[in-house]
Amino acid sequence: MGQKEDIEKVTSKIILIRDTQVIIDRDVAELYGVTTREINQALKNNPRKFPSDFVIELTNSEKQEVIKNFDNLKGLKFSRVAPHAFTEQGLYMLATILKGDLATDTSLAIVRTFTKLRQLSRAMQQVNEEVAKGGEIPDENKQGVFKNLMNEVFADPLPVKVQKMTFGINIGIFKWELETTRERKD
């Protein structure tokens, strides 16, 4: 599975609980290729590694709300155990505990994806602020930075020779588009 599919898979599992983006333990288990029981056992055996800002234990009303709003979590209705919801930091901490190739690969994909997305977000925010203050369109050097970041974040693992991507920002009356072409090195 490529990075884009990995991002989509992880993103589809993210929900909002107590104004925090989290992934429910059942979905975490699916992503890491382990059972929910193993996830909960890791929590139980390592309480110091999972403070309340890393893992949220859902109340009964939160559990009912999740069951009502997310079809993929309907199975929680029959669970006697209160589900846990992992924040981004909780997922990183869990990665230090879980064993196995899939768990390792998933952890690496999560870390790399969040890192690249943050870099791209910071770069886009900086350009947005500069343009909003009356700045100029980014020069070739800065466009090259964007191209490299976009190629890393949105890398396509398929064996293609040339890939074109257009990314645009529309700020009121100003529109800036960046088209990048990437040649895959096989």
Average pLDDT of 39-44? 89
What's the pLDDT at 169?
A: 56
Regarding whether 92 and 119 lie in a shared domain, the answer is no
Write out the two tokens for 48: 């110091």
**122 and 175, same structural domain?**
yes
Q: Do 62 and 89 lie in a common domain?
A: yes
pLDDT of residue 133: 78
Residues 131 and 52 in one domain: no
- Whether 29 shows a pLDDT value over 80: the answer reads yes
| Residue 175 to residues 35, 44, 178, Cα–Cα distance (Å) | 48, 52, 10
Assess if residue 51 is contained within a domain: yes
What domain range includes position 86? 3-98
Tell whether 149 and 174 lie within a shared domain: yes
Is 176 contained in some domain? yes
To the nearest whole number, what is the mean pLDDT of the chain? Answer: 73
Task: Judge if 118 and 77 occupy the same domain.
Answer: no
pLDDT at position 161 is: 43
- The answer to whether position 105 is within a domain reads no
pLDDT tens digits for range 115-149: 776 777 777 777 777 777 777 666 667 667 666 66
- % pLDDT > 70, the chain: 64
- Confidence band for 80, pLDDT divided at 50, 70 and 90: confident
Residue 16 lies inside a defined structural domain of this protein: yes
Residue 169 lies in a domain: yes
* Domain assignment present for 106: no
Q: Residue 113's pLDDT is what? A: 67
Shared domain check, 89 and 119? no
Is residue 78 located within the same domain as residue 139? no
Task: Read off the pTM.
Answer: 0.58
Q: What pLDDT, on the 0 to 100 scale, is given for residue 68?
A: 79
Tell me the per-residue pLDDT of 81-97, one tens digit each, with 9 for 90 and over: 888 888 888 888 888 88
d(CA 90, CA 118): 18
Number of domains forming the structure of the chain = 2
The DSSP-derived string for 1-39 is: --HHHHHHHHHHH-EEETTEEEEEHHHHHHHHTS-HHHH
Asked if residue 154 and residue 85 are part of one domain, the reply reads no
What is the distance in angstroms between the CA of the first residue and the CA of the last residue of the chain?
17
Does a structural domain hold residue 103?
A: no
The pLDDT assigned to 157 comes to: 43
Same domain, 138 and 91: no
Q: Which of 98, 124, 155 is the last residue of a domain?
A: 98
Examine residue 141 and state whether it is found in any structural domain, yes or no: yes
Whether 50 and 22 map to the same domain: the answer is yes
Report the pLDDT value the prediction gives residue 162, as an integer from 0 to 100: 44
CA distance 49 to 97: 10
Stronger pLDDT, 150 or 91, i.e. the higher one:
91
Instruction: Looking at the structure, tell me whether residues 120 and 67 fall in a common domain.
Output: no
More confident: 47 or 176: 47
